[in-house]
Amino acid sequence: MTDPLGQSQVLPYLEGLSQSGYRFTLLSFEKKELFQQFGTLIRAKCEKAGIEWVPLFFHSKPPVIAKIFDRYKLFSTAKKLHRERKFGLVHCRSYIAAELGLKFKKRYGVKFLFDMRGFWADEKAEGGLWNQQKWFYRKIYRHYKEKEREFVEQADHIISLTQAGKNELAKLYDKILRNIEEAIETKCTVIPCCADLGHFNYERFSEADKNVLRKKLNIDSRAVILSYSGSLGTWYMLDEMLLFFKAFKAKYPNAVFLFLTKDVSRLNEAIKKNDIDPANIVTSFSSYEQLPLYLSLSDYSVFFIRPVYSKIASSPTKHAELMGMGVPVFCNDIGDTGFFLHQYPLGQLVSIAEKEFYSAIDKMYVQDSDRGVIRNVAKKHFDLSVGIERYRKVYGLADL
């Protein structure tokens, strides 16, 4: 919960659902350094919302054994809490938590919500974390693909981040589910990564506010700002985004590329590798609280995600936040981004090829990118209130 994702994609939903009378015990794993920074803040938020927070801590050494210990700690803590609280539903984010949910359903008859987030085993393999050339990781991958089937079959309901992910689940598992007279169409609800649009709202910031920040970042008031926010590892195509900036710079000679990231060393290596003038790159980092102000400087934003199988289930949180800020985007077609960019004037889909970059930039130049229109699309599909209401309906299906 002390990670930015926990603060944007878990707590706000639970705070909203708590207002409907649901009582939560929140069991999470935390990094010790982040817990020291933000633990008091998260604890206060939970207490205000009536959420009981039970934080545990990740272990990394010795490898493998540390993760086995973490799983044991998760399961034993959850069982102890259940003896005291008698849970009506276990809401499980991703696969490790879903193993617990499945055990609880079989052992105690507790309702099990599989909030899958994405095709986790495939992400691990495609991200290079589970090298499929090694028998050990092939075995782990096969184990979790089999578990995925069991989660889908046994869950009382399933959450997918994208319609594309839901469609893939239907291809994979509808034949199995028919044996128990179920189907993905009714068993799965799509809830994308939403954003708090009260927080991510360009109307909160005046030109004076933005000018102060521009001055702080040493950005000329006449510069056209292309932005990127978030981490730069594994899935994000940094080299391609920098090459895109070269094409963008050809169209807008006064352009700067604003990176809001902690991955500065990775960025600096890529800048050198791709022969980018460092004078055209501005790097900073913002807390979640200050991020909307930083994003408000953006004329455009870009994110390229590796177009691999597992990413059909990806819903970039940054896109919802950028839409709330009325910022048009350049992005490739992953998850449901292609659907939304074809439906609405949110920006330009980009084929990851240098020769296509110029075409996308030219199209964006003549596109009517109205901030209010972009924000209205976010309010319709990606507002936090939309996500909370869908979760509320799912909880109602579980008859809590």
pLDDT for position 6: 87
DSSP state of 287: -
For residues 284-322, one letter each, b for 16 or more C-beta atoms within 10 angstroms of the residue's C-beta and e for the rest, the string is eebeeeebbbbbbbbbbbbbbbbebebbbbbbbbbbbbb
How many Å apart are CA 174 and CA 71, to the nearest integer? 30
Q: What does the radius of gyration of the chain's CA atoms come to, in whole angstroms?
A: 22
Please provide the DSSP assignment of 190-248 as one string: E----B-TTTS-GGG--HHHHHHHHHHHT--TT-EEEEEES--STTB-HHHHHHHHHHH
This prediction has a pTM of: 0.92
How many Å apart are CA 14 and CA 7, to the nearest integer? 11
CA-CA-CA-CA torsion for 48, 49, 54, 56, nearest 10 degrees?
-80
pLDDT for position 398: 65
Which 3 state secondary structure label does DSSP give 218? coil
Q: How far is CA 235 from each of CA 3, 120, 276, 309, 311, rounded to the nearest angstrom?
A: 18, 13, 21, 12, 9
| Strands (DSSP E) found in 118-196 | 157-160, 188-190
Which residues, listed in sequence order, are joined to residue 188 by a DSSP beta bridge?
158
How many Å apart are CA 336 and CA 313, to the nearest integer? 8
Place of tokens 């700002």: 225
Q: Which of 50, 6, 13 is nearest to 30 (CA)?
A: 6
Which residues, listed in sequence order, are joined to residue 340 by a DSSP beta bridge?
none
Question: Which contiguous run of DSSP H or E holds residue 349?
Answer: strand 347-349
Q: Which amino acid is at 322?
A: L
pLDDT for position 234: 82
Q: Do 202-381 and 4-195+384-397 fall under one CATH topology?
A: yes
Print pLDDT tens along the chain (400 aa): 998 888 888 999 999 999 989 999 999 999 999 999 999 999 999 999 999 999 999 888 887 788 889 889 999 999 999 999 999 999 999 999 999 999 999 999 999 999 999 999 999 999 998 999 999 999 999 999 999 999 999 999 999 999 999 999 999 999 999 988 899 999 999 999 999 999 999 999 999 999 999 999 999 999 999 999 999 988 999 999 999 999 999 999 999 999 999 999 999 999 999 999 999 999 999 888 899 999 999 999 999 999 999 999 999 999 999 999 999 999 999 999 999 999 999 999 999 888 899 999 999 988 877 999 999 999 999 999 999 999 999 998 766 4
How many Å apart are CA 189 and CA 170, to the nearest integer? 12
How many Å apart are CA 241 and CA 249, to the nearest integer? 12
- Other C-beta atoms within 10 Å of 376: how many? 14
The number of residues in the chain equals: 400
Burial class, 164, CB count within 10 angstroms (exposed 0-12 / middle 13-18 / buried 19+): buried
How many Å apart are CA 160 and CA 166, to the nearest integer? 6
Helices 238-251 and 264-273 sit at what angle, rounded to 10 degrees? Answer: 60
Place of tokens 């807008």: 252
DSSP state of 128: T
Place of tokens 């970059």: 357
Place of tokens 């899935």: 235
How many Å apart are CA 256 and CA 300, to the nearest integer? 11
Q: How far is CA 154 from each of CA 28, 96, 110, 215, 318, rounded to the nearest angstrom?
A: 23, 15, 12, 56, 32
Which residues, listed in sequence order, are joined to residue 386 by a DSSP beta bridge?
none
> What CATH topology corresponds to 4-195+384-397?
Rossmann fold (3.40.50)
For residues 139-155, one letter each, b for 16 or more C-beta atoms within 10 angstroms of the residue's C-beta and e for the rest, the string is ebbeebeebbeebbbeb
Reply yes or no: is the peptide bond before residue 12 cis, omega within 30 of 0.
no
pLDDT for position 399: 64
Place of tokens 């990176």: 259
Place of tokens 């460092």: 278
Residue ranges per domain, the chain?
4-195+384-397, 202-381
**CATH superfamily name and code, 202-381:** Glycogen Phosphorylase B; (3.40.50.2000)
How many Å apart are CA 266 and CA 262, to the nearest integer? 9
